[in-house]
Structure 1
Amino acid sequence: MTGVASPSPASAFRPAFARLAENTPAWTAAVVVIAVALIAWSAQLTIPMEPVPITLQSYAVLTVGALSGARLAFLALVAYVGLGLSGLHLFAGGRTGFEVLAGPSGGYVVGFIVAAVLVGWLQENYARLRILPLFGAILLGHAVIMALGAGWLAWQKGLAFAIEKGTLPFIPGAVFKSIGVLATVIVVERLAGTPRAR
């Protein structure tokens, strides 16, 4: 008896990308680069709308969160936002710079970071690849993105405008993208040999 408690099954769950990144710093960097590329690519798949376009970005962000865990998701999203602010054309529609944060989309960009970390943490500590809890975490992630995005838009344009232009148009897509995130995460984790949660 050493007196050291063994980790519980819940605390021991590591998503596929997190396990990969634990191998070496080079793998960590590779996972972050791939995540940034996926998010940047998804930002260019847009349906033009004013003042905020509909994109596939939340799908990529929440997928990265669920497959990476909180720490790695934070690194990937901070890297993405930092590169976008530094002058690379990574934001929706190829935009770049601090004017994106100051503009109507600023709250959604911040929401991406918060939601990815939240979904990653919930996957590691609660959902652990169980379908219903994971789907709930993904829906919550979308709700966080829309709440922060609409909140920033409401501060700029008023609450009624934010609900009409920054919330209602995004709800149907959020549901479909949540289903897509769930399916993607389950397939990737199965291919990675992640055992079923109990």
Structure 2
Amino acid sequence: MSTGANALATPSTLVGLLWPSRDDARFAALRAIVLMVVGSALLTLSAKVQVPLPYVPMTLQTLVVLLIGASYGWRLGGATVALYLMQGALGMPVFAGPTAGFGYLMGPTGGFLFGFVAAAVVMGFMAERGWDRSLLRVIVMMSIGHALIFVFGLAQLSLVMPFAKAWTVGAAPFVAATVVKTALAVALMQAAWSVTRRGEAR
């Protein structure tokens, strides 16, 4: 019978191959905790690398979210991003803004944060089916991930301002950066799989 921790282990993902889980429930739980803590820490660091803009800052978080989902799988990736949001909701200074707490999630950037969870889950689901291993598919995959984040973000932003303004402040300034981050995510996934395949061939 699978334990909850083992359910988070997906051998077909990049992390699943680089650090395989075991049938040992304690090892599987420790592995999941370590990966989730590392992932949430990376999200925190990427939130602090930012270009301040009105309403929605430009950060490296979307890049990290997509890579976590694609590398971890949908269960562990989704759980990792959910842990990050929980940390912020509890008041830990993990978000891009100077404040945190549940109210922050209800603010202008909250939709983007909820979109992180959806994107991580979808990236993980697609990665578990091999979409992260071919160039064309990984381009499509990462583009879908970014699109999901924008859909969630603009939906919540539109609750506090007209959609045209939401687009102007929440999407238009990020188009060029999103293209660059998508290309970088694709390159990093391709490089990681290339190294992994060479290691397996030895």
Q: Is the 8 A contact 1:17 1:67 kept in 2?
A: yes
Describe the SS at the equivalent of 1:155: coil
Structure 2 Cα separation of the partners of residues 32 and 191 of structure 1: 23
> 2:25 corresponds to which residue?
none
1:137-152 equivalences in 2 (<5 Å): 137-152=141-156
Q: Is the 8 A contact 1:35 1:64 kept in 2?
A: yes
Describe the superposition over 1:118-159 as per-residue Cα deviations: whole angstroms up to 9, x where unpaired: 011111125141111111010110011011101111111111
- List runs of 5+ in structure 2 lacking aligned partners: 1-9, 23-27
Given candidates 163, 184, 187, the residue that maps to 2:188 is 184
> 1:16 corresponds to which residue?
14
Shift of 1:189: 2.8
User: Pairwise CA RMSD of aligned residues?
Assistant: 1.9
**% of aligned pairs identical?**
29
TM-score between the two structures when normalised by the length of structure 2: 0.85
Describe the SS at the equivalent of 2:158: helix
Amino acid paired to 2:12: R
Structure 2 Cα separation of the partners of residues 128 and 48 of structure 1: 31
> 2:121 corresponds to which residue?
117
> 1:88 corresponds to which residue?
92
Given candidates 134, 138, 141, the residue that maps to 1:130 is 134
Describe the SS at the equivalent of 1:61: helix
Q: Is the 8 A contact 1:63 1:181 kept in 2?
A: yes
Distance 1:14 1:195, change over 3 A: farther
Aligned residues: 185
1:141-180 equivalences in 2 (<5 Å): 141-180=145-184
Structure 2 Cα separation of the partners of residues 61 and 22 of structure 1: 22
Q: Is the 8 A contact 1:13 1:125 kept in 2?
A: no
Structure 2 Cα separation of the partners of residues 137 and 128 of structure 1: 7
Q: Is the 8 A contact 1:13 1:128 kept in 2?
A: no
Shift of 1:191: 3.0
Shift of 1:50: 0.5
User: Within the alignment, does 1:72 sit opposite 2:76 as a pair?
Assistant: yes
Amino acid paired to 2:185: V
Shift of 1:22: 2.2
User: Within the alignment, does 1:55 sit opposite 2:86 as a pair?
Assistant: no
Structure 1 Cα separation of the partners of residues 125 and 80 of structure 2: 14
> 1:7 corresponds to which residue?
none
Structure 2 Cα separation of the partners of residues 77 and 102 of structure 1: 17
Give the stretch that moved more between structures: 55-64 or 23-32: 23-32
User: Within the alignment, does 1:108 sit opposite 2:116 as a pair?
Assistant: no
Give the stretch that moved more between structures: 93-102 or 184-193: 184-193
